[in-house]
Amino acid sequence: MQKNQTIALVVIIVIAIGAVGAYVYFRPPVYEQTLIMGTTDSVESSLDMAQSYDYFGWEIITALSSGLVEIEPGSQAGANDIMPALALSWTRTVDGKTWDFVLRQGVKYEDGRIFNATDVKYSFDRNCNLTGDGLAEGDGPQVSMEYSAIINSVEVTGVYGVRFNLKISFAPFLQLLSCAASYIVDRVHAPKNHVVSYVEGDARASHPCGLGPYVLANWTRIGGEDSEMRLEKNPDYWGAAAGLPKNDNVTIRMYATSNALATAMTTGEIDIAYRQISALQVQTFKSDPDVRVWQGIGAQIQYLCFQQRIYPFNITDVRRAITASLNMTHLCGSVFLGTADPLYSMIPVGMAYHKDSFKIYGEANWTYTQTLLAALGYNSTNKLVVDFYYESSGHYPESANQALVYQADLQASGVITVVLHGLEWAAFRLARNAGTMPVFVYGWYPDFIDPDNYEFLPFAPWLNLGYNSTYPATGVQQYNYWIGGRSAATEAGRLGNYTALQDLQASVCSVVPLWQSSTVAVTGLNVHGVIMDITVNWRHWLVYLGATATTGP
């Protein structure tokens, strides 16, 4: 009896020690430090979701606020990659037009007020002007992204229940909700009828955000230009139980040039350099043993456009011949020094449903170019003349150098002559609107992370390419695949439509993908938690200082 009692006591002690050990082992680590980031970015307009429509503004909004859902870091942003945020769960009707969300309970604004369904309805009614009595400005991202063509109304179904009634069946609705334009405002700081703008000396009055991993402690401008921002850990953040954010504070310093940013990184003035470091500087940092270069997929693309109301670019084989002459490996290696990658679909690499359909042409396939053009009467003595337009004012990266490579590669076919025309951005846009540029390069950066936000480009009215009117049969076919992809009730339905659409686009070359950017950051060896994925979200709250790395990321 005494022996059994002793054994039982030992077992209890072992179990107790194990439980304590397990608690210590699984308890989220504590990170207490300040990270200093340098960038050449700044806030373009404001930090109000109803107006902000720039990369950096959205990055700060996602640090100061939260959406109903988030995209899983490192994923392809597909249907299975959506994570709960302020909403714990959701359902939709069979027709895809009604979405019900169950909200997270106990989430606090910084004044102690509890977040609920009323805050969701207020945010969308205000930012999207769904009720017609919202923002007087009415020119925010929700207008450009056509929220009002998707969302009919938002209604409260309970204290923690909210319903979105859609006008159309819109498969990527969760992806739309994950972008900064769909983040929730703090209605105490978000007047219904006007945008919140920068207020000197008062960071809290300078934005309508709340519920994010950070609060904005400081926002300094000098001479009207952003100089520094300071983010401090939000003690009431709903993700705190998971150990987020992983740092207490983030200081963001703005630099006027990429050279100044690179110097700050080299001298140790900052822990992180992110946007915009030149390709040559990236190459230099890659050989520096005292820093880490993180490089991942980017979401910016550029593509070739044909004005199909101008002869002979209304001829499919002319467009195919030009496409076959391109050598995107040459471009990405010589102009971007490996900080961009060849792209063979209008859907970027790393995103759901991507297929390399344009690989059917190969690269620098001049024999095929010659064959196609010979049938149309073009040869080495009667060359196809291509008036090739690019913007010359720096709106796109390395535009002039890109144009020289395109010219060299097309002319290397021996049957094409390229005449280059550089126009500053304002004139370039006017010529685009007028439809006077036979062949030109354009770019796109997504509003939300889904193929729908890329595959609409051939139909974009502002591109004014004339494809659908020139080729009504395949134009309608492309359009139907696009609508099918955005409205399909299943993943198989979306995949089928987008696969067919990419193949058709490669066949007719209405637009031609050129390259996809990489995302690059340079950090100290003790910086961890950087994730580069197709969202191109920086995610300040996951980055932290730790042990010095001895190998690359």
Domain end position, chosen among 182, 217, 242: 182
Domain end position, chosen among 149, 182, 215: 182
In a domain, 12, yes or no: no
pLDDT at site 394: 86
Inter-residue contact 281 to 500 (CB < 8 Å) = no
Residues 377 and 453 in one domain: yes
φ, ψ (nearest 5 deg) of residue 46: -160, 180
- The contacts found for 23-29 with CB under 8 angstroms, 24 or more apart, are 28/241, 28/242, 28/243, 29/243
Residues 205 and 338 in one domain: no
**Tens-digit pLDDT profile for residues 337-360:** 999 999 999 999 999 999 999 999
pLDDT surpasses 80 at 467: no
pLDDT surpasses 80 at 502: yes
Residues 302 and 289 in one domain: no
Q: Please state, as a whole number, how many other Cβ atoms lie within 10 Å of the Cβ of residue 64.
A: 23
Considering only CA atoms, which of 474, 533, 527, 468 is closest in space to residue 501? 474
Give the model's confidence band at 22: pLDDT under 50 very low, under 70 low, under 90 confident, else very high.
very low
Residues 498 and 399 in one domain: yes
Share of the chain above pLDDT 90, in %: 84
**Tens-digit pLDDT profile for residues 108-119:** 999 999 999 999
pLDDT surpasses 50 at 193: yes
CA–CA separation, 193 and 136 (whole Å): 6
Report the pLDDT averaged over residues 182-205.
Answer: 96
In a domain, 70, yes or no: yes
DSSP state of 126: H
**Tens-digit pLDDT profile for residues 40-55:** 999 999 999 999 999 9
| Relative orientation angle of helices 491-508 and 472-487, to the nearest 10 degrees | 150
Residues 446 and 374 in one domain: yes
pLDDT at site 209: 98
CA–CA separation, 269 and 154 (whole Å): 47
In a domain, 553, yes or no: no
> Following CA atoms 289, 295, 300, 304 in sequence, which dihedral angle do they give, to the nearest 10 degrees?
80
Helix or strand holding residue 120 (H, E) = helix 117-127
**Mean pLDDT across the chain, nearest whole number?**
91
Q: How far is CA 120 from CA 196, 222, 235, in A?
A: 18, 35, 22
Terminal C-alpha separation, the chain: 59
Report the pLDDT averaged over residues 257-273.
Answer: 97
Structure tokens at 106: 């106990």
Domain end position, chosen among 140, 157, 182: 182
Considering only CA atoms, which of 242, 376, 231, 229 is closest in space to residue 311? 376
Identify the weakest region by mean pLDDT among 4-18, 193-207, 322-336.
4-18
CA–CA separation, 215 and 211 (whole Å): 9
3-state helix, strand, coil in the chain (%, to 5): 35, 25, 45
pLDDT at site 551: 55
Considering only CA atoms, which of 439, 487, 499, 498 is closest in space to residue 463? 439
pLDDT at site 132: 82
Query: Which are the contacts of 37, defined by CB distance < 8 A and separation ≥ 6?
Result: 250, 251, 252, 253, 270, 271, 272, 273, 274, 540
In a domain, 75, yes or no: yes
Assign residue 287 the CATH number of its domain: 3.40.190.10
The tally of domains found in the chain comes to 3
In a domain, 20, yes or no: no
pLDDT at site 548: 85
In a domain, 394, yes or no: yes
pLDDT surpasses 90 at 71: yes
Residues 478 and 334 in one domain: yes
pLDDT at site 507: 95
Considering only CA atoms, which of 55, 85, 61 is closest in space to residue 73? 85
pLDDT at site 138: 58
Q: How far is CA 491 from CA 23, 305, 479, 495, 498, in A?
A: 40, 30, 19, 6, 11
Residues 100 and 168 in one domain: yes
Query: Which are the contacts of 305, defined by CB distance < 8 A and separation ≥ 6?
Result: 437, 439, 440, 441, 442, 463, 465, 511
Q: CB-side exposure of 191: number of CA atoms within 13 Å?
A: 10
Considering only CA atoms, which of 150, 282, 497, 229 is closest in space to residue 274? 282
CA–CA separation, 340 and 405 (whole Å): 15
CA–CA separation, 328 and 350 (whole Å): 18
Residues 312 and 405 in one domain: yes
CA–CA separation, 283 and 520 (whole Å): 11
**Tens-digit pLDDT profile for residues 376-392:** 999 999 999 999 999 99
Residues 391 and 418 in one domain: yes
φ, ψ (nearest 5 deg) of residue 544: -155, 165
Compute the residue count for the chain.
553
Residue whose entry in the numeric block shows the structure tokens 């703090």:
186
Residues 390 and 425 in one domain: yes
- Written as one letter, the residue type at 112 is G
In a domain, 18, yes or no: no
Assign residue 356 the CATH number of its domain: 3.10.105.10
Helix or strand holding residue 496 (H, E) = helix 491-508
Task: Supply the Cα-derived Rg of the chain in whole angstroms.
Answer: 26
**Tens-digit pLDDT profile for residues 266-304:** 999 999 999 989 999 999 999 999 999 999 999 999 999
Give the model's confidence band at 122: pLDDT under 50 very low, under 70 low, under 90 confident, else very high.
very high
pLDDT at site 296: 94
Considering only CA atoms, which of 191, 232, 186 is closest in space to residue 209? 186
Give the model's confidence band at 550: pLDDT under 50 very low, under 70 low, under 90 confident, else very high.
low
**Tens-digit pLDDT profile for residues 7-16:** 333 333 333 3
Residues 366 and 266 in one domain: no
In a domain, 403, yes or no: yes
φ, ψ (nearest 5 deg) of residue 253: -110, 135
CA–CA separation, 138 and 481 (whole Å): 32
Full residue range of the structural domain in which residue 400 is found: 297-518
Identify the weakest region by mean pLDDT among 22-31, 97-106, 454-463, 528-537.
22-31
Considering only CA atoms, which of 41, 26, 49 is closest in space to residue 143? 49
Residues 354 and 251 in one domain: no
